[in-house]
């Protein structure tokens, strides 16, 4: 009996030991999360604007080249103009000097900091991760990042915040070194969508979900084509089978 009791305690204990200060992400409906779902182009464009105007001050997006923004619906001219807003360190030139030049469509998004130490020094010792793969790299990534961005609040009385930290129950340990990055009306959307924190967060998560898996839609379309092909092929085979065996009884 006592053994059974011990086994029972062992089975139920891991969830109890889990970090009680970290809340599981809130669930949101995402257009791309269903098996045949696609990314909402307008949300992606708005999300890119949020990344560009807010997140890119601290976070890099190293896996994405400007050219790939054509997936968001931008044409070549627009992409050239977007790239030209960024400055890239290039070189060395003939004199052996490094120099800055405007980015070209073939360049990746530049790192906002020259190196990790500089990034940490500006962020109270914490490192703002590269956002290119954040949605894939975290469990339930889209919901996690959305919950994180919208989940700031004042700390409960029993929690003492460390210096430079903000209370965020969705971050491991409940304290994060990223100050709340979004406030209502922070960006002005060209399509007139009201820029609430929730809206900006959903848009930037849509954009980052695409950045984490730019091949997702192509992969799904290919999967669908393969399934259709297999259905047609099986039907064809069935009729061939019927006609071959028709006269054999």
Q: Which residues bind ligand HEC (CB under 6 A)?
A: 50, 54-55, 57-59, 123, 126, 128-129, 134, 138, 145, 148-149, 176-178, 181-182, 204
Q: Give the three-class secondary structure for 167.
A: strand
Taking the complex as a whole, how short is the minimal distance between the CB of residue 168 and ligand HEC, in angstroms? 9
CA atoms within 13 A on the CB side of 65: 7
Question: Among residues 74 and 167, whose Cβ is nearest to ligand HEC?
Answer: 167
Minimum gap (Å) between residue 55 Cβ and ligand HEC: 3
Cβ proximity to ligand HEC: between 62 and 105 the closer is: 62
Residue 76: CB atoms within 10 Å? 10
Can you tell me the distance from the alpha carbon of 200 to that of 193, in angstroms, rounded to the nearest whole number? 10
Find the shortest distance in angstroms from Cβ 37 to ligand HEC. 21
Show the tokens assigned to 192.
């007139």
Q: Which is nearer to ligand HEC, 35 or 125 (CB)?
A: 125
Nearest to residue 205, comparing CAs of 58, 88, 63, 31?
A: 31
Q: How far apart are CA 143 and CA 28, in angstroms?
A: 6
Q: How far is the CB of 208 from ligand HEC (least distance, A)?
A: 7
Q: How far is the CB of 141 from ligand HEC (least distance, A)?
A: 9
Distance CA 49, CA 46 (A): 5
Nearest residue (CB) to ligand HEC, 118 versus 222:
118
Rounded to the nearest 10 degrees, how much is the dihedral formed by the CA atoms of 144, 190, 53, 51? 30
d(CA 86, CA 112) in angstroms, rounded, equals 10
Closest CB to ligand HEC among residues 27, 221: 27
């Amino acid at each position: 009996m006592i053994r059974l009791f011990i086994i029972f305690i062992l089975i139920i204990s891991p969830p109890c030991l889990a970090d009680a200060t970290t809340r599981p992400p809130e669930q949101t409906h995402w257009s791309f999360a269903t098996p045949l779902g696609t990314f909402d182009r307008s949300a992606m464009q708005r999300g890119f604007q949020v990344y560009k105007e807010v997140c890119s001050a601290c976070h890099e997006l190293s896996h994405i080249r400007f050219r790939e923004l054509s997936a968001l619906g931008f044409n070549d001219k627009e992409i050239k103009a977007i790239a030209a807003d960024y400055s890239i360190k290039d070189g060395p030139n003939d004199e052996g000097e490094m120099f800055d030049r405007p980015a070209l469509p073939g360049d990746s998004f530049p790192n906002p900091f020259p190196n990790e130490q500089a990034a940490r020094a500006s962020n109270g010792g914490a490192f703002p991760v590269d956002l290119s793969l954040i949605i894939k790299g975290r469990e339930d990534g889209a919901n996690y990042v959305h919950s994180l961005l919208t989940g700031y609040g004042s700390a409960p009385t029993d929690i003492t915040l460390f210096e430079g930290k903000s209370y965020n129950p969705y971050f491991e340990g409940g304290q994060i070194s990223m100050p709340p990055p979004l406030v209502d009306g922070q960006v002005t959307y060209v399509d007139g969508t009201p820029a609430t924190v929730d809206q900006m967060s959903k848009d930037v998560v849509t954009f980052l979900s695409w950045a984490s898996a730019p091949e997702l839609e192509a992969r799904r379309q290919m999967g669908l084509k393969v399934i259709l092909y297999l259905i047609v092929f099986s039907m064809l085979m069935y009729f061939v089978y019927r006609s071959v065996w028709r006269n054999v009884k």
